[in-house]
Amino acid sequence: MKGGLTNPISLASGVVPEFGAVDTIEAARAGGFDMVGLWVDPAEWTAQTTRDARAALAATGLPLLDVEVVWLKPDAAMDDHRKVIDVGAQLGAANVLCVSSHADPARTAAELYDLCRHAEDTGLRVALEFGIFTQVKTLRAALAILDSIDHRAKALLIDPIHVDRSGSAIADIAALDPALLPYAQFCDAPAERPDPADFDAVIRDAIDLREQCGEGALPLGALYHALPPGIPLAIELRSAALRDAFPHPALRASAVAEATRRWLEAQA
């Protein structure tokens, strides 16, 4: 709770990466989340997947906070990226998550603008995430790209682990236009940072070593209070320990939701 507002929490797809769309949606509802996010692989996602996901969303009543991931890279087809947006639009998603492996920021900007144009009649925001695992490594790098794009669909995605690992300043986040932040990701993480030159270590840190809110060493309180009040938080808690401890998706979702709500209540 912050400023009298309750932040809706969403089960990010990365919490249950081994499960499909319907299982993710049902786990989010069983675990007590307010919203859900879905992983959309354009090579595997079919019209039937859309129908099944739409039915599960309707049955649970959960809003779809985001779909992911559009990963801009030299060998990726823009039509595949547009398909992720199309699926999100068909399911009523509010946001699509985007990262980039283009070395040239101008190419990232051009492709991001293309995606914003594609999404402009859907209501989707195209949220650029920065992190040392991408070529948009810092908050300032992401803002430079977004500043070069004139489109209302553009957005920025904040993830605490990437803020910390990239050395980005929380004070700079607090100074952002709130309209640029339709939602944020949230998690905790260990104090030890991976060597940025060791890509495998960076990825392991991001997909296996995250921790429950309040159980790690990140300055979560300061970051939380730097965000716009009441925005949805996608709990991006990729954790090998949680996957091992809770093989059932609903039990894992419950453990994450309960810990997150305890932490949020303590911020009031």
Instruction: Give the pLDDT confidence score for residue 178 in this predicted structure.
Output: 98
Going along the chain from its start, the domains and CATH numbers come out as: 9-266 (3.20.20.150)
Q: What is the pLDDT of residues 114-159, one digit of tens each?
A: 999 999 999 999 999 999 999 999 999 999 999 999 999 999 999 9
pLDDT of 3 over the 50 cut = no
pLDDT at position 268, please?
A: 79
Q: Mean pLDDT over residues 17-38, rounded? A: 98
What value does the mean pLDDT take over residues 222-247? 98
What pLDDT was estimated at residue 4? Answer: 42
Closest CA to 234 of 129, 80, 123, 147: 129
pLDDT band at 12 (very low <50, low <70, confident <90, very high): very high
